[in-house]
Amino acid sequence: MSEKKKGWLNRNVLSFGLASLFSDMGHEMATAILPIFLFMELHSAAAILGIIEGVSDFSSSFIKTFAGWYSDKAGKRKPFIILGYVMTGFFIPLIGFATHWIHVLIARTLGWLGRGIRSPARDALLSDSVDKETRSRSFGFERMMDTLGAILGPALAFFLLPILGVRNIFFLALIPGILAVVAVLMVREKYKTKNTKIEFWKTIKGMPSDFNRFLLAAAVFGIANFANTFLVLRVMEALKPSIGILAAGSIATGLYMLLNVGAAIFAYIFGSLGDRMSKRFLLGLGYAIFAIYCIGFVILQPTIASFIILFLLAGVETGLIDVMERAYAADLLKKDIRGTGFGLLNTVNGIGDFVSSIIAGLLWTVFSYGWSFIYGAILAIIAVGILIIQNRRHGGWQQ
């Protein structure tokens, strides 16, 4: 008989929430000052930052599917989770010792590989730690804590930067990295059935058809969902002529903080709703909200008031989609292949992030900002259509 789970905010959910808070605080603290470090300390060009970000994200995305599958095969999640948090917590602070951009590339890539190793196993173990009826709320709590870390880390970095200097901020990031490892050490393993016969490609090809259709929708939306930094760029371009670059940058930064705060709040709100409503419907709503605010950036007058509304919508969409994609995937996957399934989802999203930002940047540069937003809106609407077709196959929005 399986262990009866008492409440949703149990030891594992709380531990994962704290780990996400501390880990994101540490690596976002380092990420916030990385451009300053590269340009001022190492005298690198902007292209170097692009190479570092691209290689590290690309590497992290591709290891996720294999890491998730191997956690299914090994029959244990916790070792992969611990290894991932240790790698991120240890290698990111090593950037502070760098004397050449190659050193930064190596440390950043190894740290991001840690994220790739831990993410599928963490999501699978989090799914196994709660009842299906409270799964969305648990993912919402974890994502809320993660986003709070993403807010606190950069804020702490910029507050301490004049006092400690750039390199010492990287070293300081070791402290929340250690706290994240301590938090995941408190996690209890829930999945202990070793499956040595499971094969990598056979498992991927044998994914449930409903999951594959959902993965198609996620992939289409992924190549639409460009980075939120493009929203910041639009604000700066629009406000710079009237108020100057410094004031425009300050407002854009404040709006980005507003987006993250909104994402943290709405991650939990929609996580709770996902336990009562159709996850597929809420996911489609998130895709639709992305399309709506993309269109809004094109047709609304570029005022501070309109930007506040659009950034709030972006916060709602960010919190909603990240939670609901994982909660919905967990419902579609059997326990023994959840690691592989979450790995596939993470890989698809990672590739989507890479492709969408490149395409949006090219459209923005060659034509205008409007084409980037129109591109995103069209693909998001297509993703909604895929979910609607999937819904009709099931005769309603039950799931």
Do residue 376 and residue 329 come from a single domain?
yes
Residue 3 forms part of a structural domain: no
Domain end point (choices 140, 166, 189): 189
Better-predicted residue by pLDDT, 399 or 127: 127
Domain end point (choices 162, 189, 216): 189
Q: How confident is the model at residue 2 (pLDDT cuts 50, 70, 90)?
A: very low
Burial class (CB in 10 A: 0-12, 13-18, 19+), 339: buried
Give pLDDT, residue 1. Answer: 36
Side-chain half-sphere exposure of 185, counting CA atoms within 13 A: 7
Do residue 145 and residue 277 come from a single domain?
no
Residue 348 forms part of a structural domain: yes
Give pLDDT, residue 195. Answer: 65
337: containing domain: 197-399
The mean pLDDT of the chain is 83
Do residue 165 and residue 118 come from a single domain?
yes
Do residue 201 and residue 181 come from a single domain?
no
- Condensed to tens digits (0 to 9), the pLDDT of residues 303-325 reads 889 999 999 999 899 888 988 88
% of the chain surpassing 70 pLDDT: 92
Give pLDDT, residue 3. Answer: 43
Give pLDDT, residue 161. Answer: 80
Do residue 252 and residue 213 come from a single domain?
yes
Do residue 70 and residue 204 come from a single domain?
no
Residue 133 forms part of a structural domain: yes
The CATH number assigned to the domain holding 357 equals 1.20.1250.20
Task: Give how many domains the chain has, as a whole number.
Answer: 2
Top-ranked range on mean pLDDT: pick from 46-60, 163-177, 223-237: 163-177
CA distance 121 to 128: 11
CA distance 371 to 298: 9
Give pLDDT, residue 239. Answer: 84
Do residue 152 and residue 298 come from a single domain?
no
Do residue 166 and residue 43 come from a single domain?
yes
Give pLDDT, residue 194. Answer: 64
CA distance 178 to 383: 39
- Condensed to tens digits (0 to 9), the pLDDT of residues 60-88 reads 877 888 888 878 787 788 999 999 999 99
Give pLDDT, residue 183. Answer: 94
Residue 1 forms part of a structural domain: no
How far is CA 133 from each of CA 126, 140, 267, 397, rounded to the nearest angstrom?
Answer: 13, 13, 17, 16
CA distance 258 to 345: 27
Domain end point (choices 189, 220, 242): 189
